Amino acid sequence: MSKVQEKEGFSDTTASYLAGNLIEAGTETTSSTLYAFIQAMVIFPEVMKKAQEEVDRVVGPDRLPTMDDEPNLQYIRACVKESLRWMPPAITGAIPHCVIQDDEYRGYKIPKGAAIIHNVYSINMDPARYPDPRRFEPDRYKDDFQNASDAATASDVSKRDHFTFGTGRRLCQGIHVAERSLFLGISRLVWAFDVNPAADSDGRLIIPDTDSYTSGFVVMPTPFKARLTPRSEKRAGLIRVEWKQAEEELLDPVTKQWKA
C-alpha cells in the first residue's frame, strides 16, 4: 500500500480501479479522435496532401516522426487541434461542473449546487468562432503555437483553440498525454499511409456521412469504409520494425499484456 493510500484511506482494489479508469479514458478518447481524423482525410484529401508535404519536408522517408519534430510540424499540430475540435470524443464534456452560488445566465436562474453540463460539441461548432465548422480546416490554427494545456487554461476564452479538454479548474487530467499521443499518431499515419475513399461494387466512391455518430458518453463516427495503403514498401518496412520493437519492449511474450 502506498503512502497516498494510507493517507487517503483507499484499498489496492480502489487504486487499481482508478488506474484502470484513467487508462481506459485515455485510450478510448484518443482512438476515437484518430478514427475521426481518418474519416476527415477521406473527405478532405487536400488536407492529407498538405500534411504529407510538411512531414516529407521535415522528416523525410528514412525514419518515423518523433516528438522532437513537433516544433517544425505546425500543420500537423494544427491537424491535432482541428481533429479535437471537429469530432470531440466527449461531446458533453468529460467532467460535469457545479455552481457554488446562485447565478443567472441570459435570464435563466441557476441555483446553487446545480450540475452544469459542458456542451462541447455546440461550442466547437459555433460558426461565429469557427466559420464553416463542419469543414476540416487545420489552417484555422496556422498561427496558434500554444500547447493544449496553455490553450485550455487561457483566461481569455477567445484564445482557446477548442473546448474539448474542458473548462475551468477541472480539466481533462490526461491533456498532455493526449496531445502527444495524437501528434505521434497523426504524424506517423500521414508519414506512412495514403488514405482514400473505398469503392462499392460498381466502382463508386463511398463518402462517409460526417454527421453520423455513435451514441454514448464517448462518441465517434459510425463505422465507415476507407482505403489505407502504404506510401512505399520502405515506409511499410520501417513501421513493421517499430511495431516489433514496441512488442519486445512493452509486452509480455506469453500473455501479450503490458510487462509489469
pLDDT in tens, 84-100: 999 999 888 767 788 89
Q: Is residue 255 part of a domain?
A: no
Contact yes or no for 223/206 (Cβ under 8 A)? no
Total tally of structural domains belonging to the chain: 1
- Evaluate if residue 179 carries a pLDDT over 80: yes
Task: List the domain range (segments joined by +) for residue 24.
Answer: 12-225
Chain centroid to CA 5: how far? 32
7, part of any domain: no
Angle at 240 between CA 234 and CA 243, to 5 degrees: 145
| Best CA proximity match to 208, nearest among 112, 154, 114, 136 | 136
155, pLDDT greater than 70:
yes
In whole angstroms, give the CA distance from residue 21 to residue 191: 32
Instruction: Evaluate whether residue 248 is within a structural domain.
Output: no
- CATH code of the domain covering residue 71: 1.10.630.10
Digit-coded pLDDT (tens) for 206-254 = 999 998 999 887 889 999 999 999 999 999 999 999 999 998 998 888 8
Is it the case that residue 15 has pLDDT exceeding 90?
Answer: no
Check whether 98 is labelled as a binding-site residue: no
- The set of cell numbers assigned to 11 is 484499498
Residue 236 lies in a domain: no
What are the CB-based long-range contacts (under 8 Å, 24+) for 41-47?
41/195, 42/195, 42/196, 42/197, 42/207, 42/208, 42/224, 42/226, 43/136, 43/207, 43/208, 43/210, 44/135, 44/136, 45/195, 45/196, 47/79, 47/136, 47/137, 47/138
